[in-house]
Structure 1
Amino acid sequence: MRSRPGMAPVVTVTVTALFTLLAALLAGCRAAPAPSGALATATASPQGYGAVFLGPGDCGTRGPEHREVPCASEKAAARVLSRYDGPAARGPDCPDRTDFVLHVSELRPAVDEDGDGAVPRGYACMRNLEPPHPGDPGGGGGPHTLVGDCLYTSRKGQVKETACDGSGGKRPQYEVVAAVPGRERCPASTALYVSLGGRQPVGCARRM
């Protein structure tokens, strides 16, 4: 988007890291789906698994095919902060400290709308059990842009997150220093307005 002369440019940040999960629901752990967009709560079993595949508090592995494992397992890599049924575009936002978002699908279901062998079952907001935490301010990732995050210009009119310490492979050019209701509330040092969403939808970024 082009900026007006004398004004800081307005850009849209593209930061959501979405990973595709194709996994069968665990045998004996099926539960009726919650209403679309509703938080799926889990009741822990003696084995440490919830009533919902990758339900809140459950842990999963890393890799091309994510699996639910006990959180005490050496294979456990990330914990579910919250879990929602339905598409992410119409569901609630993940918590701010989410490191990445998983789309949860059921493999080879009885009914397949588009013939790809899977049916979407919702999404899980995940946080790594150990650092790094890209969802933390300055971490260079996660589904949200937060105060303390750093940005670089990926192409004309668009910026993306990068780690503030430079470890993300892209040199940080801007730092988000405030989240405010409108651009008029940004400090005079603002060089870039960033769309954040939420109750404080405008991010004020200074040049580094």
Structure 2
Amino acid sequence: MRERWSVRVVCAVLTALTVLLAGCQRSGAGGAEEDGRLGGGASTVAPDRTSGFGAVFLAVDECSSFGTTSFTEVPCTSERAAARVVARHDGTVTGGPPCPATTDFVLHISEQRPASDEDGDGAVPQGYACMRNLEPPHPGDPGGGGGPRTIVGDCVYSLGDGQVRETACDGTGQKQPQYKVEKAVSGRAECPLSTALYVQLGGERPVGCARPV
């Protein structure tokens, strides 16, 4: 029996995502500082599951296909397989553990509890799957221009008014890079003097020190 599963998807490989960044932009020694604002932007589609390949929907090491309007769980040996689950957590991204640093995109999974469940495995709790493309490109890699996290090696450009957005360091993105995150530290005082932008990274070392490129 096939059951449909509602999944909300935030996909970094389909659209350019605004990087969630915050920081101060310095014009020079003793210059005025501009508080960064959090940016956001994502595409949302409604995938469904039309076949089952395990007790847990999109468990670690399982694969999904890509589609313009849907994502389907498929065997990793299938020609349709495009991305692999590298981490899987219940709850929401904001309340749960972060995805691995080089995650390419995140699938947000809505809770599903069928009215009738004969075998007891039809319920799916709210959660999220951290996905890694099986083949390049990998926007989650350092300098790749995307992914759900900002990490050392990533580049950004200014949107004005204290906002920045991630872009590819090699210049292949729609916008040219202006700053590159060179170091992750626990506090701004640990950044080198050449730092022109502080980027919020999260984790144990939440401050990214970025320099002009």
Larger mean Cα displacement after TM superposition, 1-10 or 120-129: 1-10
How far residue 93 of structure 1 moved from its aligned partner, in angstroms, is 0.6
Structure 2: gaps (5+ residues): 1-22, 117-123
Whole-angstrom CA distance in 2 between matches of 1:167 and 1:3: 24
CA drift at 1:16 = 7.8
Identity fraction in percent: 58
The answer to whether the 8 A contact 1:10-1:193 is kept is no
Work out the CA distance in 2 between the residues paired with 1:82 and 1:16. 23
Unaligned runs of 5+ in 1: 30-48, 112-118
CA pair 137-143 structure 1, distance change in 2 beyond 3 A: same
**2:162 is the counterpart of 1:157:** yes
Select the residue among 68, 90, 93 that pairs with 2:98: 93
Q: State whether structure 2 residue 59 is matched by structure 1 residue 55.
A: yes
Deviations 1:38-63 (A, max 9, x none): xxxxxxxxxxx232111100000011
Per the TM alignment, residue 197 of structure 1 is displaced from its structure 2 partner at its CA by 1.2
Residues 17 and 101, structure 1, Cα contact 8 Å, conserved in 2: no
Matched length? 180
AA aligned opposite 2:58: L
The Cα offsets for residues 56-96 of structure 1, whole Å up to 9 and x where unpaired, read as 00000011210011111110000000111112221111111
In structure 1, the partner of 2:36 is 11
Give the residue type in structure 2 aligned to 1:165.
Answer: D
Flag the structure with higher strand content.
1
* Aligned match of 2:108: 103
TM-score with structure 2 setting the length? 0.75
Maintained 8 Å contact 1:54/1:124: yes
TM-score (norm 1): 0.76
Counterpart secondary structure, 2:202? coil
- Which residue number in structure 2 is paired with residue 67 of structure 1? 72
- How far apart are residue 195 of structure 1 and its match? 1.0
Residues 198 and 10 (structure 1), Cα distance of their counterparts in 2 relative to 1, 3 Å cut = farther
The answer (yes or no) to whether the contact 2:46–2:70 under 8 Å persists in 1 is yes
CA drift at 1:8: 5.2
